[in-house]
Amino acid sequence: MHITPNQYKLVTLKQRQDLLPIIANWWYQEFGYLNPERTMVEASEELITFLNTDRLPVCYLLLKNNNLVGTASLTAIDIESYDSVSPWLASVIISPQYRGQGMGTLLVQEVMKAAKKLHAGHWYLYTPDRESFYERMGWEKIDKTDYNGVTGVIMKSPYINHDPPLT
């Protein structure tokens, strides 16, 4: 599936700041168990640091007819104990009504296209339960780890060539 202007649109959270409370709630609901000491307010405050368009960290939104389908972020460091590898794809979430329709794959593919403008090379991610999803897109498991008591894997993307900005 390819994003077309009539159907799907990838924008940054900076372009749709009105959706910040929804994304913060999604972060808290989907990933709160990984950081149980973090409050909803702290999730919102962290998300504000992702209001960028041309540098890390940046949060992307997939919209369909102006409705929020999903979100994914790119960040320099996602897990402190893996600060030797960078950058990271993080916080991939699809709204429940769009799950099972290929939207997660579409979102990750489109975000990684945008990532080409920010970094050439490999990207990394942590997942406790979606290893096969990322493997289908060419990501490779490089380590098994325990993050705040949750066992998961660290994965590496295929090499991404830099896409220089248009002049």
Query: Can you say how many angstroms the Cα of residue 102 is from the centroid of all Cα atoms in its chain?
Result: 16
What per-residue confidence (pLDDT) applies to 120?
Answer: 85
Q: Please tell me whether residue 19 adopts helix, strand or coil conformation.
A: helix
Torsion over CA: 78, 124, 31, 37 (sign): negative
Q: Is the pLDDT of residue 140 over 50?
A: yes
DSSP 7: T
Give residue 164's pLDDT.
60
Q: Which carries the bigger pLDDT value, residue 159 or residue 154?
A: 154
Q: What's the pLDDT at 112?
A: 95
Lowest-confidence pick of 5-14, 57-66, 70-79, 138-147: 5-14
CATH number of 8-156: 3.40.630.30
What are phi and psi for residue 77, nearest 5 degrees?
A: -135, 130
What share of the chain has pLDDT > 70, as a percent? 93
The DSSP letter of residue 121 is B
Residue 53's pLDDT band (boundaries 50, 70, 90)? very high
